[in-house]
A = this chain, B = another copy of it.
Amino acid sequence: MSSSEFFSKIDPITYEGPESRNPLAYRYYDKDQMVMGKRMEDWLRPAVCYWHTFCWDGFDVFGGGTFNRPWHKLSGQEMAEAKLDVAFDFFTKLGTPYFCFHDIDIMAPAATIKEHTKNFAAILDKVEEKMGETGVKLLWGTANVFSHPRFMAGASTNPDPEVFAFAATQIRQAMDATKRLNGENYVMWGGREGYDTILNTDLGREMDQLGRMVSLAVDYKHKIGLTGPILIEPKPHEPTKHQYDRDTATVYGFLKRYGLENDVKVNIETNHATLAGNSMEHEVATAFALGIFGSIDANRGDPQNGWDTDQFWMENMEITKTMYHIVKNGGFETGGFNFDSKVRRQSIDAEDLFYGHISGLDALARGLLCAVDILEDGRMPDFVTERYAGWDGEFGQWLLKQGSLDEIADRAVKEGLDPKPKSGRQEYMEGLLNQFV
């Protein structure tokens, strides 16, 4: 079978409604449906990722590739173009508006920096052409500065400054490409920006190097007029023992340290959130509270497994809780839901790629509808507002803005303050949530 025939048996996916039993149709994702005044597609801004879906061959640490994709048998530019064709065939049949890529995902493999430059440029014309033909847009671009052996000890954080310069070169070119393709964000995941052992590591130097690289990228973004934000993607570890961009709160501290908090936001990945010991809704709520919410890599881990499984995210309750914070805060600005998910190594058929993305997108759509229901119902947000109402009163405002510690204490003792506990109503709230999911 040739690459062009790979999805030939699959018709474009359409919306058939919740009662449909057709696994190749949407049951919830109805892109033009208006939800709180905005099209569903505009709320979700879904993107397919290039790497898991078109580059990975199904290998894992314990065994070789299982997928047997026709384009994996080709090489060089021919492989790159065949992959591009099949990718855009997939995007259009699936009906998703965006895609995302790393530089090396889309190009012919390169051995040298000059070859990298040449091969990357060579495919960009084709990508632009495909985007023009199909209307598929770029949610974000990025550079893979972690897979090649030269990055084994990090890219920005490498002990060898030449590696930093090599990475800078890829990042510059990927930023240029993102600009050219009207990408709406630029992502930096520090896959090996961490350490394998602290014994051989100068942690302070490495953090400064990372700060320098992000600063360079921010300056360059302004220079070339890339309007969207730079997004850092937090992860606590894997492949490293420890990654500096641990989670949203850690990234916030890093940004403040290097004065980058106005130009950089976070791209939160569900599976990274849970590996870091946080719930996904925590990460999203925190990013909004800190003013650095950017985009989402939608996937899930396995609650019993301690590595990045990147499964399709279909847990309605988790999704609803996350979506609640997104909708309450007005939705994405430039970000979206990138399916940073891979079908399982046993899911070897072309159909499996559709089953994963369709069910994943349906789950997001359903979560969106549930979250909107909760907000429109009002009982849940109102409970929270009322719970803190005291802080909006005279005493609360005085505490927050005027009283000094001793003035507060003197007043408290004088008035004999004796605050009475009020129920936090957790079970009530959980039951209420269950009326909507």
Summarize A's interface: helix, strand, loop or mixed: helix
- Integer count of this chain's copies in the complex: 4
Is the pair A423, B63 in contact by a Cβ cutoff of 8 Å?
Answer: no
**Cα separation A113 to B314 with both chains bound (whole Å):** 40
- Residue from B203, B204, B241, B352 within 8 A of A305 (CB atoms): B241
Is the pair B288, A204 in contact by a Cβ cutoff of 8 Å?
Answer: yes
Is the pair A434, B314 in contact by a Cβ cutoff of 8 Å?
Answer: yes
A395-432 contact mask (Cβ, 8 Å, vs B): 1 or 0: 11001100111101101110011111111111111111
Q: In the assembled complex, how far is the CB of residue A252 from the closest CB belonging to chain B, in whole angstroms?
A: 4
Chain A interface residue number, banded: 35 or more
A150-165 contact mask (Cβ, 8 Å, vs B): 1 or 0: 1111000011111111
Is the pair B117, A423 in contact by a Cβ cutoff of 8 Å?
Answer: no
Is the pair B64, A147 in contact by a Cβ cutoff of 8 Å?
Answer: yes
Is the pair A352, B250 in contact by a Cβ cutoff of 8 Å?
Answer: no
Q: Does A38 contact B (CB under 8 A)?
A: no
Is the pair A417, B315 in contact by a Cβ cutoff of 8 Å?
Answer: no
| Sampled A-B contacts (30; CB under 8 Å) | A27-B435, A62-B146, A62-B192, A63-B151, A113-B412, A113-B413, A113-B417, A150-B418, A150-B421, A159-B388, A169-B417, A171-B409, A197-B344, A197-B429, A199-B433, A200-B425, A212-B399, A238-B307, A241-B305, A242-B279, A279-B304, A306-B307, A307-B307, A314-B430, A314-B431, A316-B434, A346-B424, A352-B427, A355-B431, A358-B431
4 tightest A-B CB contacts, nearest first: A306-B306, A253-B253, A359-B431, A346-B424
